[in-house]
Amino acid sequence: MQTRVLKGNKAIEEAKKLLDNNQIVAFPTETVYGLGGNAFSKEVVYKIFEAKNRPQDNPLIVHTYAKNQIPKIAAYVGKNAKKIINAFMPGPLTIVLKKSDNIPYEVTAGLDSVGIRIPENKTARKLLRKIGYPLAAPSANLSTKISPTSAEHVFNDLNGRIPLIIDGGESIVGIESTVLDMSNDTPIILRPGIITEEMINNVINGVKQYKGEIKSVPSPGMRYKHYAPQVETVCVNSKEVAIRLINEKSCKITLIGTSDFVKDIKGVNIIDIGNTDSEIARNIYKALHNAEKVSDFIMVEYFKGSQIKDSVMNRVIKAASHTIIE
Ligand code: TXA
Ligand code: MG
């Protein structure tokens, strides 16, 4: 299959034709690129799992363009869920609610709940509005690879496997949405993101971060190794450790870190991801994508100090297969 990459209105028109014809297409969102297909059709949803090599027991998020579409996707929207929807949607948050009968179990991997997101990205919303039905869409990478934040990243993984990529430039948030489960009495953050626990707690009380055993996770996706670059990746806890490893290793090294951290380090490929929370989130996947192309060993600074940095670290630690060098 030939994979086309298109921009602008032409891309949206082509995408609509393909989607109306039960095909799947990659599209930009502000978090990461998604690989979408009609969420009401189990045959279409099956194609998404196939193109990504994704295990069938990992549920997909359903994307729509407006709050008034949510009752078609969720069976019930409680008072607190409404508050969350009004506070954070459209935006980088996915809310998990009891699913409506319109959503096939193929989308939710057999669960009675469904993840719902309204992207803020203009291209994504234009597309969703134009087609009229919601799109089930995971991130548009091959399963176990790093999430894509540009059309080029999608192309590198899915060329030949999907008919179309809509190129909407770089994703400005840069990490996947916060997943907030409100399908039970206690709201739980299943995946941290740039909408933080603190921000959610300002709207409703008593939200918890999921801290359970990996074996019994309520979000099946947490079981899988995700976001891993193709070369050995570690986290480094201090500059001293980074310098020690640089001196010890004789392979091509890339160091990814904040501007302050990488400032006077020399002799290796440096990727400076900025200093602010939003810069760090926006640049991390791009940095990992670039690093894996040019090096044999990747070191990433262990950044701390805010809930958003913790959310970014959640991805980095997975990329590093939990290897933190002190
Ligand atoms: O920012 C994002 O969320 C991107 C863009 C494309 O919207 N999508 C994304 O999808 O990251 P994906 O499939 O890579 O991650 C979805 C996560 C998985 O960890 C999955 O297990 C969880 O959301 N999830 C989806 N539906 C769920 C449900 N009903 N209950 C619990 N977890 C769910
Ligand atoms: Mg993903």
- pLDDT tens for 145-172 read 999 999 999 999 999 999 999 999 999 9
Euclidean distance between CA atoms 119 and 190, whole angstroms: 19
Residue 115 beta carbon below 6 angstroms from any ligand 1 atom? yes
How many Å separate Cα 114 from the centre of its chain?
Answer: 16
Protein residue whose Cα sits closest to atom 30 of ligand 1 = 219
Protein residue whose Cα sits closest to atom 13 of ligand 1 = 138
Residue pair 216/122 in contact by the 8 Å Cβ criterion: no
Q: Which amino acid is at 158?
A: L
Task: Determine the pLDDT at residue 212.
Answer: 56
Task: Determine the pLDDT at residue 230.
Answer: 82
Q: How many other C-beta atoms can be found within 10 angstroms of the C-beta atom of residue 186?
A: 9
Protein residue whose Cα sits closest to atom 6 of ligand 1 = 34
State the first-to-last Cα distance of the chain, in angstroms, to the nearest integer. Answer: 47
- For residue 201, pLDDT over 70 is answered with yes
For residue 178, give the ligand nearest its CA: 1
Residue 126 — pLDDT band, cuts 50, 70, 90?
very high
272 pairs with which residues across the strands?
Answer: 257
Residue 60 beta carbon below 6 angstroms from any ligand 1 atom? yes
DSSP letter for each residue of 75-105: S---HHHHHHHHHH-SSSEEEEEEBPTTS-H
Distances (CA, A) of 164 to 13, 119, 132, 135, 254: 11, 19, 19, 15, 32
Q: 50-62: per-residue pLDDT in tens? A: 999 988 888 999 9
Q: How many CA atoms lie within 13 A of 6 on its CB side?
A: 15
Q: What percent of the chain has pLDDT over 90?
A: 88
Euclidean distance between CA atoms 108 and 52, whole angstroms: 16
pTM of the model as a whole: 0.95
Task: Determine the pLDDT at residue 21.
Answer: 98
Ligand 1 midpoint to CA 296 (Å): 30
Protein residue whose Cα sits closest to atom 27 of ligand 1 = 115
Ligand 2 midpoint to CA 56 (Å): 13
Q: Which two tokens stand for residue 207?
A: 């939200």
Protein residue whose Cα sits closest to atom 21 of ligand 1 = 221
For residue 58, give the ligand nearest its CA: 1
Q: Which amino acid is at 245?
A: L
Atom of ligand 1 nearest to the CA of 190: 32
Q: Which two tokens stand for residue 63?
A: 């994307």
Burial of 10 (0-12, 13-18, 19+ CB in 10 A): exposed
Q: Which two tokens stand for residue 238?
A: 């201090």
Q: Which amino acid is at 103?
A: I
Task: Determine the pLDDT at residue 218.
Answer: 47
Residue 117 beta carbon below 6 angstroms from any ligand 1 atom? yes
Per-chain residues with Cβ under 5 A from ion ligand 2: 139
Residue 61 beta carbon below 6 angstroms from any ligand 1 atom? yes
For residue 33, give the ligand nearest its CA: 1
Classify 52 in phi/psi space as left (phi over 0), alpha (psi -120 to 50) or beta: alpha
Average pLDDT value for residue range 17-22: 98
Q: Which two tokens stand for residue 130?
A: 């134009």
